[in-house]
Amino acid sequence: MICTSIKKLDHFLNGGIKEGTILDIFGASATGKTQLTMQICVNALQEGRKILFQDTTGEFRPERMLEIMKFRGMNPNLLDKVTVGRITNTSEQIQYLSKIKKLESFSLIVVDNVTDLFSFEYSSGKNFLEKNILFMNYMHELSLTAFNYKIPIVITNMIRKKDDLDIENLDKSISMFTHMKIKLKKDGNRYVGEVIPSFIQKQEFSYFITAKGLIDAS
């Protein structure tokens, strides 16, 4: 299990991210999605884990991860345990699944951003069905990878506007294969996260984005 270092969030997750599950972090731009994944990676490095970070947007910044590590007094050489895959098209993203299966030494996988390339390459309305089928097949294989190899997988996703509502991109296709979701948003001057599903009551937490990473607002 890997913690997020946000105490209230870890409480809602019953301690953190469990082996063999997929955690979906989604929200608007600049709400801390990628930074949270990096924070999770740093926590994994402290446990001696080897990480595969798949970057589909070109926004991975190792210096940001090093900054968080510096605040914790960690050896910067631990970053060598992070393998970064720069993914530029959906074919590469799908083919990377076979690489994961061959390299069983990974004990955390991050896909940042999981739908971006699918939406870019299949932007035409007439390609809607093809996009959803291809993406669902990809998510199915990703979920099998998590289950069969007992690897925690963290993905990020964006939101889109629909009738003035913020809807997760490809939400119906992605929800079938994810175990837990974290929605991040900015509410006025504060950042708020929500854990989904919440079976009893709404599970919300407030956080700050700092040089140290994402921390509890309380």
Alpha-carbon gap, residue 100 to 86, rounded angstroms: 14
The low-confidence residues of the chain, meaning pLDDT below 50, are none
- CATH, residue 85: 3.40.50.300
2: in domain: no
Structural domains in the chain (count): 1
Query: pLDDT tens digit string along 32-82?
Result: 999 999 999 999 999 999 999 999 999 899 999 999 999 999 999 999 999
Helix/strand/coil (H, E, C) string of 140-153? Answer: HHHHHHHHHHCCCE
Q: Give the pLDDT confidence score for residue 127 in this predicted structure.
A: 78
Name the residue range of residue 14's domain. Answer: 7-216
12: in domain: yes
1: in domain: no
Element (H, E) at 6: none
Residue 106 and residue 96 in contact, taking contact as beta carbons nearer than 8 Å: no
Q: Give the pLDDT confidence score for residue 201 in this predicted structure.
A: 74
Q: Give the pLDDT confidence score for residue 125 in this predicted structure.
A: 66
